[in-house]
A and B are shown apart, each in its own frame.
Chain A
Amino acid sequence: MFKWQKLGKVFIPQEVQNRSWLKEFAQAPATLVFDNFVRVYFSCRPPADKQGQYVSYSAYVDLERSDLFKICQVSEEPILSLGNIGEFDEFGTYPVSVIRDGNLIRAYYAGWTRCESVPFNVAIGCAISNDQGKTFTKLGKGPIVSYSPDEPFVLSGPKIRQFNGLWYLWYIAGRKWKIIEGRAEPVYKIRMATSYDGINWSKLNKDLIESRIEEDEAQASPDVFFSNGKYHMFFCYRYSSHYRSRQNGYRIGYASSTNLVDWVRDDSKAGIDVSEQGWDAEMISYPHIFELDGKTYMAYLGDQVGRYGFGLAALEGTFD
């Protein structure tokens, strides 16, 4: 079992001034390490409209490398514009995952549209930055990973990695929509695709992580890294109904693999759970692991899936 020491909440979106598009939520943190700071991308929202509908943007906050609890700056503008009318990302660009590619930085992001019978649909887009990740230009108006026979809707939560010269994309794919008390709620599972160029993707077409708490368990945020001879994945999972509660809400799970395709789930190893009280007492979700100056950190969300920001935990010891 891993041991994580919770360090507390790092970033509170409500404290940011003068950004009309950033009022609440700091979801799905993803890091890019620079010489003097760590750039943490996250997704945020302006207030809901009159119908209670949100749009979501992605942005970043730079944390001082020597003290991650010191904020250097918050991006002045969203890193990506919303799509045009009828495009897959018209109503949201959330979440985003970044990776260096030579002098460029690539972002893989989920684009949101609104549907009539269900609240939304999601597909995965790609954008490129040549200014060190401050702004990104979309590769095209459509998605780079789209719907297919076994992945019919809600392709979201991309996490981009490179191992052994190959590009890997972990993401989630919707399995079914369940009507719970009159509201359509999506069930989704963790999936994977590979690519030689980061643009043309081959789907594995397989659920990577077996469901544990119920058949319709929803899984998200598959965050993979390599350490000590094997691949580790932290992710989050929840029940399919009444999950906006401590009882059924998100928890963080763990799986490991030697070949990136076959994964053994063992949540008892995850080593992090909800707190007795405080900002992460109801749920913990969207883990992201990164290494910095000899230490391993997990960025994650607390109650209400990051409405009030994200926090950090530090690994005690090493991965085995």
Chain B
Amino acid sequence: MKWKKLGKIFDPTQHRLPNECAQFAQSPQTLIFDDFVRIYFSTRAVDKANGKYLSHIAYVDMSKDFHNIIRVSEHTVIPLGDLGCFDEHGIFPINLVRHDEVIYAYTCGWNRRVSVSVDTAIGLAVSHDNGQTFQRLGNGPVLAASLHEPCLVGDGFVKIIGDIWHMWYIFGTGWKTYTPDTPPDRTYKIGHAVSNNGIEWTQEEEARQIISDRLGKDESQALPSVIEMDDRYLMTFCYRQSSDFRKNKDRGYRIGHAWSDDLNNWTRDDENPHLALIPDEWDTEMQCYPHVFKCDDKVYLLYNGNEFGRYGFGLAVLET
């Protein structure tokens, strides 16, 4: 099996975006409609107070062959959180689940800290208008730091299998200062939680890392997404070194894979499917924030390239 690259399909700098956002279309995630695919992503505005970034959610509707852009959202899809809330400074990413005529959105909310740059938690919002706008369940998160997952809970990806809601997500293991002249960097790993209603989540075992490390304990893993294929489950995610990963392409994000028969034990196999890494200009330095999904019986992978998706996202299709 291998991913056949179809190239970059969306460049945010070529469109008018909501919330005064200009660049970045990060972590594309899909909601499939009968005759189009809505791809949500996180884009960025500049916080006038201090010049830092604020991440906002927007979407692009594309034809099901991904050749044509039908529309780009120009309205606020979900406002950022109130003062002091977990999602005050950004929502990135957002994961969409259809259930009972309602669309559930699992958000990763960002809030800035003082000794470290940020903390995150996972929120829940619902849409009653086919995903054009979302309303929060409350001002707080549905999954946040806990006794053994002390920081940076985020990147929730939810799938209902049978009667059980499964969530794959990431949890921080801690912050570390690697060199005296760089700010502290974080490490996170992929975990798993379950729920009966999509609202109250429990981990069978807190801080159980379900995907083995390839780069050692300072490997950070992010953006799990899962799809069922021939009675097995395929997870895509991205991974990198925890320090010096922004500009050093040898330490930056790559896309990883893992397989499971039982949703509990995962075998990491980054080369299956093989991401035919013939570097195009837009994804030579990094490949990150993958999202695997099915559309018209094909399996696709959306992902970001260089600079964490500053100039958009691309697509690959699975060939067996």
A residues near B140, Cβ cutoff 8 Å: 147-153
B residues near A121, Cβ cutoff 8 Å: 84
The answer to whether A116 touches B113, judged by C-beta atoms less than 8 angstroms apart, is yes
Per the 8 Å Cβ criterion, residues 77-135 of B in contact with A are 81-86, 88-89, 111-116, 119, 121, 123-124
Q: How far is the CB of B125 from chain A (nearest CB, A)?
A: 10
Q: Which of A4-12, A176-184, A298-306 binds B? A: A176-184
Central interface residue in A85, A88, A147, A150, by most chain B CB within 10 Å: A147
**Known pairs A140-B146, A144-B146 / 10 extra A-B pairs, C-beta < 8 Å:** A86-B113, A87-B151, A114-B114, A115-B114, A117-B89, A142-B148, A148-B144, A152-B84, A153-B84, A199-B147
CB-contact partner of B112 in A115, A154, A176, under 8 A: A115
Per the 8 Å Cβ criterion, residues 47-102 of A in contact with B are 83-88, 90-91
A174-B124 contact in complex given A85-B115, A86-B175, C-beta closer than 8 Å:
no
CB-contact partner of B124 in A87, A115, A149, A186, under 8 A: A149
B residues near A87, Cβ cutoff 8 Å: 150-151, 174
The answer to whether A86 touches B151, judged by C-beta atoms less than 8 angstroms apart, is yes
CB-contact partner of B86 in A114, A116, A139, A147, under 8 A: A147
Measured in the bound complex, the distance between the Cα atoms of B141 and A143 in whole Å is 14
The answer to whether A146 touches B144, judged by C-beta atoms less than 8 angstroms apart, is yes
Measured in the bound complex, the distance between the Cα atoms of B142 and A176 in whole Å is 18
The answer to whether B85 touches A85, judged by C-beta atoms less than 8 angstroms apart, is no
Measured in the bound complex, the distance between the Cα atoms of B214 and A54 in whole Å is 41
Residues 117-129 of chain A, each 1 if its beta carbon lies under 8 Å from chain B, else 0:
1100101011000
Measured in the bound complex, the distance between the Cα atoms of B149 and A138 in whole Å is 14
Count of interface residues, chain A, beta-carbon cutoff 8 Å: 40
A residues touching B (Cβ–Cβ < 8 Å)? 83-88, 90-91, 113-118, 121, 123, 125-126, 139-144, 146-154, 174, 176-177, 179, 184, 186, 199
The answer to whether A152 touches B147, judged by C-beta atoms less than 8 angstroms apart, is no
B139 lies within 8 A of chain A by Cβ: yes
Measured in the bound complex, the distance between the Cα atoms of B142 and A83 in whole Å is 24
CB-contact partner of B115 in A90, A117, A141, A177, under 8 A: A90
The answer to whether A86 touches B116, judged by C-beta atoms less than 8 angstroms apart, is yes
The answer to whether A139 touches B138, judged by C-beta atoms less than 8 angstroms apart, is no
Interface of A, secondary structure class, is loop
A148-B141 contact in complex given A86-B115, A177-B83, C-beta closer than 8 Å:
yes
B184 lies within 8 A of chain A by Cβ: yes
The answer to whether A86 touches B174, judged by C-beta atoms less than 8 angstroms apart, is yes
Measured in the bound complex, the distance between the Cα atoms of B147 and A199 in whole Å is 9
CB-contact partner of B141 in A139, A144, A147, A186, under 8 A: A147
A residues near B291, Cβ cutoff 8 Å: none
Measured in the bound complex, the distance between the Cα atoms of B174 and A86 in whole Å is 7
A140-B138 contact in complex given A86-B174, A116-B112, A121-B84, C-beta closer than 8 Å:
no
B186 lies within 8 A of chain A by Cβ: yes
CB-contact partner of A147 in B82, B144, B174, B199, under 8 A: B144
Measured in the bound complex, the distance between the Cα atoms of B114 and A126 in whole Å is 24
A147-B121 contact in complex given A117-B84, A141-B150, C-beta closer than 8 Å:
yes
**Closest chain A residue to B50, Cβ basis:** A116
CB-contact partner of B113 in A115, A147, A148, A154, under 8 A: A115
Measured in the bound complex, the distance between the Cα atoms of B176 and A1 in whole Å is 56
**Closest chain A residue to B149, Cβ basis:** A142
B317 lies within 8 A of chain A by Cβ: no
A146-B137 contact in complex given A86-B175, A113-B113, A184-B84, C-beta closer than 8 Å:
no
Q: How far is the CB of B128 from chain A (nearest CB, A)?
A: 18
CB-contact partner of A84 in B86, B174, B199, under 8 A: B174
The answer to whether A85 touches B148, judged by C-beta atoms less than 8 angstroms apart, is no
B residues near A147, Cβ cutoff 8 Å: 86, 121, 140-141, 144
B residues near A174, Cβ cutoff 8 Å: 84
B72 lies within 8 A of chain A by Cβ: no
Measured in the bound complex, the distance between the Cα atoms of B139 and A176 in whole Å is 9
Measured in the bound complex, the distance between the Cα atoms of B86 and A252 in whole Å is 31
A149-B141 contact in complex given A85-B175, A86-B172, A117-B88, C-beta closer than 8 Å:
yes
Per the 8 Å Cβ criterion, residues 143-160 of B in contact with A are 144-151
The answer to whether B85 touches A152, judged by C-beta atoms less than 8 angstroms apart, is yes
The answer to whether A116 touches B114, judged by C-beta atoms less than 8 angstroms apart, is yes
The answer to whether A177 touches B84, judged by C-beta atoms less than 8 angstroms apart, is yes
The answer to whether A143 touches B114, judged by C-beta atoms less than 8 angstroms apart, is no
The answer to whether A114 touches B115, judged by C-beta atoms less than 8 angstroms apart, is yes
